[in-house]
Amino acid sequence: MHSLKYFYAVIFLVGMFSCSEESVQAPSDILPQSKIEDVLVSMNLSNSLINFNNVSKPVDKRDITFNVFAENNVKREDYYKAMEWYSSHPEKMKEVYEHVMEKLTLMKSSK
C-alpha cells in the first residue's frame, strides 16, 4: 500500500514538471513572443507621446497618427488573439513584460 502512494506521488510530480510553463510554446498561428514585445513597446511609446502632448498642450488623440499595428506590420486581430493566448499562460506573459521593460529601459538609457 505504501509503494502505491509513492508511485502516485512520483507520477504526480513528473506530470507537474513535464507541463511547466517553461516548455510551453505558442502555437504557429500565434504571433511570436518577439513580435508581441515589439508591439507592446510601441504601444507604451505611443501612450507616452499622447500623455506628453496632453500635458504640454491640448491635442486630440486622433491627431497622433502613430499606428502601432501598422508600424509593426501586425493585424489588430492577430495581436488580440496572441494576447489572449499569452494571458492564458501567465509565465509567458510575465516573460514578455520583463522583456518589454528591458527594451524600454535600454531605450531610455541610450538617450
Q: What is the mean pLDDT of residues 21-49?
A: 87
| Higher-scoring residue by pLDDT: 3, 77 | 77
pLDDT grade for 50, boundaries at 50, 70 and 90: confident
Look at residue 53 and tell me whether its pLDDT is greater than 90. Answer: no
Query: What does the pLDDT read at residue 55?
Result: 55
Q: pTM of this prediction? A: 0.69
The C-alpha cell that represents 5 in the structure block: 502512494
Q: Which residues have C-beta within 8 Å of that of residue 74, sequence separation ≥ 6?
A: 31, 35, 39
